[in-house]
Amino acid sequence: MKLKTKILTALGIGCYWAMMMNFFSAQAKETDTAPYMDPSESVEARVTDLLSRMTLDEKIGQMVQADLCCVSNRADIAKYGFGSMLSGGDSKPTGPNTPENWLQTVNDLKSWALKTRLKIPLIYGIDAVHGHNDVVGTTLFPHHIGMGATHDPALAEEAERITASEVAGTGIRWVFAPCIAVVQDERWGRTYESYGQDPALVSEMAAASVKGFQGDELSPHSVLACAKHFIGDGGTQNGIDQGNAVCDEATLRRLYLPPYEAAIRAGVGSIMVSYSSWNGLKMHANKYLLTDVLKGELGFKGFLVSDWAAIDEISPDYKYDVETSINAGLDMIMIPYGPGHPNNYVEFINDLKDLVAERKVSPARIDDAVSRILRIKFQMGLFENDGTDPSLTAQIGSTEHRQIARECVRESLVLLKNKRHALPLAKDLKHITVVGEAANDLGVQCGGWTVSWQGSGQVTRGTTILQAVRDIVSPQTQVRFSPDGRNLAGADAVIAVVGEPPYAEGLGDRTNLDLSAGDSALIARAKASGAPVITILLSGRPLILGRALGSSDAFIAAWLPGTEGEGIADVLFGDAKPTGKLPREWPKNDRQFAANAMHGRPLFRDGYGLTY
């Protein structure tokens, strides 16, 4: 090539790139001055303006929620314009599990969304079902069943306000909580995620929890709440997770709909749809309930998000699943899988584009879904400032937060038996023996959804029941620990701590809810010592107690209290009176599992609870 030609060619390429740079610069300048970027405009005006500027690809991107563990190339966030990302139960940042590392990771992910043409911010979601439970060192509260036992909506609101603060301290602005299932059968592995069996109680706690997360209305100070799982997941046959709720519509509306009505009145901005079915139809495919009832009749203005890969269960044909779920009313799809896996986010995007081209999903349905998502983002001020206040990060797991959790524990305890005033114990007893491995196991005390999805072992920072007892008694009192209960000589009182190992979701489904043989034997050995026996049950639901209740002088249902074991010691030693009341009936035998199909009188009625 002649020199002159080379020079002209180089000049041509240079001019081309200069022209493109000018184009992108002008486009960026236009975006910065667009009406949707102006916070003085109304939310609806901003939504309308932004929607008018979006391509179909950009709209569909907003409907995608990808999981951290499956986005190996973070450039995909900008490439596909994700509207959201999440961390599922075991999906965590690379490196140490600290609030600071979470904050750095989430901020980096959010920065990729701002590299897109329209700079639509990413909203990050996480399960925070009893505190910011994936992060080590946070404040963990009693699971919902314990909070239901408090019958104290103001306390529930305060607990979620603290949870919101700790979540926001890691850069996250969306929680998949509260769970407002109205559980009818305690064999369900998610029973502890429900406030109780009474729709009125669940409704009251649901509204309070939504306000705790979001405030009186969505604002730049809110963490977005997500009521779940719509609808009937607490009423599946035999308590089977992701099962089938069989009932007529009147029953569905009477038992399971009221908490969603309460959450909507409280302003909840998102609702997660249930894996379960109603009379054989998967909820993710139920247009009548999602669109006609929830969005139409109840006037829900927020957006609907699917559960983890839940649309995949509609049928074996993924493209059909996409079509069915979007037309049913889903606005955002949780897609945990990345490229290389069937039913991944790239496949979803391509399938939905094809469905629009084939006129199987209307442009109006896409616009409705995206408008709902954008509206929430504008209301939360994400376009103006999605930064994190350093003071929130510094307060994670603070003494002030833990004191509120300790109060929640105190109020959640239900005293089922107190023979001859065995409680409260004197702090100056000479010898107290604590038995049961659970007494010194923070993982059992916290239950599932604690750092790991299923929960396990000594998973985070907190105070065990054993340590709490040692901290509260007189310096002259000897507190011995005998995990197997075989060293009880000389005890003035025996505190037996028993219960379920941690579990979550369907892995917690059980057909037999008997207290374990090992726990029953432990209590029997304690009884044989001749000392008063105080039994503390750590469980996500009522268990069939058998002889354990008769062998105990006092018996406390402590549920899954979280990190602050001091709240239990406060009640054991009389610094606080037990005030908790059962949030559900306690079955006497395995014929009484289903609350709406009791055979004879239960062991304890809903609302039962003693005090001093």
For 197-300, where are the E strands, in sequence order?
226-230, 244-245, 270-273, 277-278, 281-282
pLDDT at 599 over 70: no
Mean pLDDT of 502-529: 97
Indicate if 160 belongs to the active site. no
Q: Tell whether the torsion through CA atoms of 403, 404, 408 and 410 is positive or negative.
A: positive
In the numeric block, the tokens 């705790």 are attached to 212
3-state SS class at 267: coil
For 363-518, where are the E strands, in sequence order?
414-418, 431-435, 478-482, 493-499
Please tell me the predicted confidence (pLDDT) of residue 8.
Answer: 37
Largest interatomic CA distance in the chain = 108
- Rounded alpha-carbon distances, angstroms, from residue 16 to 69, 400, 610: 39, 60, 81
- Rounded alpha-carbon distances, angstroms, from residue 270 to 138, 172, 174, 336, 483: 24, 15, 9, 19, 45
Indicate if 428 belongs to the active site. no
Q: Tell whether the torsion through CA atoms of 511, 514, 515 and 518 is positive or negative.
A: negative
- On whether the pTM is more than 0.85, the answer is yes
For residues 383-414, one letter each, b for 16 or more C-beta atoms within 10 angstroms of the residue's C-beta and e for the rest, the string is beebebeeebbebbbeeebbebbbbbbbbbbb
Please tell me the predicted confidence (pLDDT) of residue 120.
Answer: 98
Contacts of 344 (CB under 8 A, 6+ apart): 70, 335, 337, 338
Instruction: Evaluate whether 196 touches 244 at the Cβ level (below 8 Å).
Output: no
Mean pLDDT of 343-357: 98
Q: What is the Cβ-side half-sphere exposure of residue 258, based on CA atoms within 13 angstroms?
A: 14
Q: What is the Cβ-side half-sphere exposure of residue 121, based on CA atoms within 13 angstroms?
A: 23
**Which ranges in 266-398 belong to alpha helices (H)?**
287, 318-328, 345-357, 363-379, 390-394
Q: Is 54 or 592 the better-scoring residue by pLDDT? A: 54
Structure-derived torsion over alpha carbons of residues 472, 473, 476, 481, reported in degrees to the nearest 10: -100
The pLDDT-based confidence of 28 (bands split at 50, 70, 90) is: low
Instruction: Evaluate whether 288 touches 330 at the Cβ level (below 8 Å).
Output: no
Residue-range domains of the chain with CATH:
38-394 (3.20.20.300), 413-597 (3.40.50.1700)
| Catalytic member of 134, 505, 519, 553 | 505
Please tell me the predicted confidence (pLDDT) of residue 397.
Answer: 98
Give the DSSP H or E segment for 203. helix 199-214
Q: Is 387 or 494 the better-scoring residue by pLDDT? A: 494
| Cβ atoms < 10 Å from Cβ of 180 | 32
In degrees, rounded to 5, the angle at the alpha carbon of residue 30 between the alpha carbons of residues 25 and 31 is: 100
Contacts of 20 (CB under 8 A, 6+ apart): none
In 3D space, the residue among 134, 48, 42, 49 whose CA is nearest the CA of residue 88 turns out to be 134
Q: Which tens digits make up the pLDDT trace of 284-323?
A: 999 999 999 999 999 999 999 999 999 999 999 999 999 9
Amino acid at 146: G
For residues 193-212, one letter each, b for 16 or more C-beta atoms within 10 angstroms of the residue's C-beta and e for the rest, the string is bbbbbbbebbbbbbbbbbbb
The pLDDT-based confidence of 597 (bands split at 50, 70, 90) is: low
| Catalytic member of 307, 411, 519, 585 | 307
